C-alpha cells in the first residue's frame, strides 16, 4: 500500500509523461475494443444469417411430395445442413396471402396451383452454401434456386479482413504504447538517478529499486484500459440506436453491461502486462547499479 502511495506521488510529480503513457495505452485499447465489438457484432450478424433458410429450392409442378422427400433426405445426408423444411403449395399460398393481405388485388384469382412447392434449407456453416446450392441445382426436379450466397460470402470475407486488419492495427498501436512506456520509464529512471544510487548505497535490493517502476508501468496500463473502456461504453451508448437501426432484425444491442466488465478486466490485465514488460525492458536497459 505504501509502495502504491509513493508510486502515485511520483507520478504526480511529472504528470505529463505519465499522461502520455496512459493516453497511448488508452488509445490502443480503445481501438482494440472497437475491433472486439465489431468482430463480435460481425459474428452475431453471420450467425443470424446462418440460422435463416439460406437456400430456397422451388420444384417443378410435376414433382410429387415423395420425390421432394427423397431430395430432402439426400441433402440432409451431406451433413452440411441443419434443417430442410418442406413448404407445400398450400403452405406457399398461406405465406403469399399473409404477405399480401393488405393488397386484395394480388390475392384475387391466386390459387395453390399457381405457386410452386419448395424446400427451405438451413446450412450449418455459411461457407458451404455454394456446395449445397450446386447439389440442389443439379436435381432435375428443381426449377429454381435462390441463395443469398454472395451476401454471406462477402460478410465472411469482411469479417475475416476486419479481424486480420484489426489485429495488425492493434498490434502496431500496442508496439507504439510499448515503446512509449519504455521511453517514459527510461526517462524517469534517468531523472531519479541520484535517488537510485543513494538507495543502492544504503543497501536497497535491486528489486526494491525496480518495484516502483514496474508498478508505474502497470498503473499506466490499468489507467489506459479504464479510460478506453469508459470511452467505448459512452460510444456504444451513443451510437447503438443508429447501428441497431441499420442492422434491422439482427439483434446486436443492447450489449450486456457484464460484457464491459469482462472487457475492462481483460484489457486491464493485458495493458498492465504490457506496462510491466515495458518497464522491465527500460529497467534492463537503463538501470545501472554498481
Between 107 and 198, whose beta carbon lies closer to other proteins?
198
Q: What span, in angstroms and rounded, lies between the C-alpha atoms of 273 and 221?
A: 7
Between 43 and 205, whose beta carbon lies closer to other proteins?
205
Smallest distance, other proteins to C-beta of residue 2, A: 8
Between 197 and 240, whose beta carbon lies closer to other proteins?
197
Helix (H, G, I), strand (E, B) or coil at 86: strand
**Residue 94 contacts by C-beta under 8 Å, 6 or more apart in sequence?**
none
Contacts to other proteins from residues 10-49, by CB under 8 A: 13
Smallest distance, other proteins to C-beta of residue 22, A: 23
Q: What span, in angstroms and rounded, lies between the C-alpha atoms of 75 and 133?
A: 10
Between 19 and 199, whose beta carbon lies closer to other proteins?
199
Q: What span, in angstroms and rounded, lies between the C-alpha atoms of 265 and 32?
A: 14
Helix (H, G, I), strand (E, B) or coil at 118: strand
**Residue 230 contacts by C-beta under 8 Å, 6 or more apart in sequence?**
none
Q: How many residues bind other proteins (CB under 8 A)?
A: 14
Between 190 and 234, whose beta carbon lies closer to other proteins?
190
**Residue span 186-225 as binding mask against other proteins, x where in contact by CB under 8 A, dash where not:** --------xx-xxxxxxxxx--x-----------------
Q: What span, in angstroms and rounded, lies between the C-alpha atoms of 26 and 21?
A: 9
Residues that bind other proteins (CB under 8 A): 13, 194-195, 197-205, 208, 290
Amino acid at each position: 500500500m505504501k509502495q502504491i502511495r509513493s508510486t502515485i506521488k511520483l507520478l504526480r510529480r511529472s504528470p505529463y509523461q505519465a499522461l502520455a503513457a496512459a493516453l497511448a495505452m488508452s488509445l490502443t485499447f480503445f481501438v482494440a475494443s472497437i475491433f472486439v465489438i465489431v468482430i463480435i457484432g460481425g459474428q452475431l450478424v453471420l450467425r443470424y444469417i446462418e440460422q435463416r433458410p439460406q437456400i430456397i429450392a422451388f420444384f417443378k409442378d410435376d414433382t410429387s411430395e415423395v420425390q421432394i422427400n427423397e431430395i430432402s433426405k439426400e441433402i440432409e445426408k451431406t451433413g452440411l445442413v441443419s434443417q430442410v423444411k418442406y413448404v407445400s403449395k398450400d403452405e406457399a399460398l398461406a405465406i403469399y396471402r399473409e404477405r399480401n393481405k393488405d393488397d386484395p388485388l394480388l390475392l384475387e384469382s391466386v390459387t395453390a396451383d399457381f405457386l410452386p412447392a419448395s424446400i427451405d434449407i438451413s446450412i450449418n456453416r455459411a461457407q458451404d452454401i455454394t456446395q449445397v446450392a450446386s447439389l440442389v441445382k443439379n436435381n432435375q426436379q428443381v426449377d429454381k434456386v435462390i441463395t443469398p450466397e454472395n451476401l454471406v460470402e462477402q460478410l465472411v470475407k469482411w469479417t475475416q479482413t476486419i479481424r486480420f486488419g484489426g489485429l495488425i492495427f492493434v498490434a502496431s498501436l500496442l508496439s507504439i504504447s510499448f515503446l512509449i512506456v519504455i521511453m517514459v520509464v527510461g526517462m524517469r529512471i534517468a531523472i531519479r538517478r541520484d535517488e537510485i544510487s543513494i538507495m543502492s548505497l544504503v543497501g536497497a535490493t535491486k528489486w526494491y529499486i525496480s518495484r516502483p517502476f514496474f508498478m508505474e508501468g502497470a498503473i499506466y496500463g490499468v489507467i489506459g484500459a479504464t479510460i478506453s473502456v469508459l470511452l467505448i461504453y459512452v460510444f456504444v451508448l451513443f451510437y447503438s440506436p443508429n447501428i441497431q437501426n441499420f442492422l434491422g432484425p439482427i439483434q446486436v444491442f443492447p450489449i450486456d453491461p457484464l460484457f464491459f466488465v469482462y472487457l475492462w478486466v481483460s484489457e486491464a490485465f493485458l495493458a498492465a502486462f504490457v506496462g510491466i514488460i515495458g518497464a522491465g525492458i527500460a529497467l534492463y536497459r537503463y538501470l545501472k547499479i554498481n
